[in-house]
Amino acid sequence: MRDLFRVFRTLPVILAIFSFNISVFAQTGFDSGLHFNKTSHNFGKISVKAGKQECSFEFTNNSSQPIVVYNVISSCGCAEPTWPKEPIMPGKGGKITVTYLNDQGPYPFDKVITVYTSASKKPVLLRISGIVYENDKSIKDMFPIANGPLGFTKKEIRLGQIEQGFVKSSSISVANTSNKTQHITFSNASPGLFIKIIPTKLAPGEIAEITYTADTREKENWGNTIYSADILCNGVKTPEKFKVATLIIDNFSTLTKEQKNKSSMILAKNSSISIGNTTKGKPIEAAFSLRNTGASELIIRKAETNGKEFGIEYPQRVAPGAEFTVKARIDTSRYEGEEVFTITLITNSASRPLVNLFVAANIN
């Protein structure tokens, strides 16, 4: 963060608009602008007594522009990735750390970690593998995230990105960690969220599989979307809802090459603003000048931020060739030190469905 702020403070506005373009076909490689020191890691033989295992995939930004690691998704809930959320400046590096929970019993495993960045249309695939043996863990150890009488393997459930109009499903295991039989049902589900659990009745120590499906056709949502439902055990709600995080963007798969070339296009005169030193509690105001250089109308579906203290003003529709402004007003009362605030526009642009804008400040 400190290096990033120095660049904002000393350089003129150089950041390009970051984009995130979903492709149906994933690939492994180094064309993302980030060069990884490796793309696979084999843990070898692991005893379940060893507990969680970690490995890291280090990378360097070999491009000439900052890169955002927008999302990292695991093919299984048993592997949890963490990654830097701030932009990676040219020549700088970072790492993606993957924690293998090692809580599913003795079996060989081979999991894929999908890395989406702002610099490439296709993700980079990382892989972890190994063999787990000798399972003697208790049910509470295997399912450490408690929610009432139930235990889960992880706190956050992510379904990844979905194109508007599509349906996506996944599953997660859950255990009855109480000393009573539990009849599990769900209620008050968000529109578009469908949940099924097999079996519905769990004796103490038994495990069930929850299958959850997000259908974007049920209700139009954009950007980061949380689907949720109440969990009832023997008719009593658990303290926490069942939540599924998704990222919803436009569906461009049916467009021809010509249609994509004629779609809306965003060009930013300034995609980053450095405020410099400012007083804590004093609101920050910033304005970004952009233009729709495409041949079609630009639609801004939604504007998201990395904090709740934002007020954002933006036009929902922009004619071809027209200029427009995105204004931000940030309450700094909860911040101190060097901060970089991010605004993400979710748009109908086939080439840049996600556009990131940045405001840097040193809050004293």
pLDDT digits (tens, 9 = 90+) for 274-291: 999 999 999 999 999 999
For the chain, give every domain's residue range. Answer: 25-137, 140-249, 257-363
The architecture in CATH of the region 25-137 reads Sandwich (2.60)
Q: Is CATH 2.60.40.10 correct for 140-249?
A: yes
Position 244 pLDDT exceeds 60 = yes
Give residues with Cβ within 8 angstroms of 288, minimum separation 6. 268, 269, 270, 271, 273, 325, 326, 327, 328, 343, 357
Cα distance between residue 90 and residue 148, in whole Å: 47
**Where residue 84 falls among pLDDT bands split at 50, 70, 90?**
very high
Give residues with Cβ within 8 angstroms of 145, minimum separation 6. 151, 152, 153, 154, 155
Residue-wise pLDDT for 134-151, tens only, equals: 755 677 877 889 999 999
Position 4 pLDDT exceeds 50 = no
Residue with more model confidence, 27 or 280: 280
Residue-wise pLDDT for 32-47, tens only, equals: 588 898 888 888 778 8
Superfamily of domain 257-363: Immunoglobulins (2.60.40.10)
Domains 140-249 and 257-363 share a fold: yes
Position 122 pLDDT exceeds 90 = no
What is the percentage of the chain residues whose pLDDT exceeds 90?
A: 60
Cα distance between residue 19 and residue 249, in whole Å: 12
CB 63 within 8 Å of CB 119: yes
User: What is the distance in angstroms between the CA of the first residue and the CA of the last residue of the chain?
Assistant: 16
Question: Which segment of 44-48, 165-169, 272-276, 357-361 scores lowest on mean pLDDT?
Answer: 44-48
Alpha-carbon distance values, 211 to 94, 195, 237 (Å)? 34, 6, 19
Position 27 pLDDT exceeds 80 = no
R_g over Cα of the chain = 22
Residue-wise pLDDT for 199-233, tens only, equals: 999 999 888 888 899 999 999 999 999 999 999 99
**Where residue 31 falls among pLDDT bands split at 50, 70, 90?**
very low
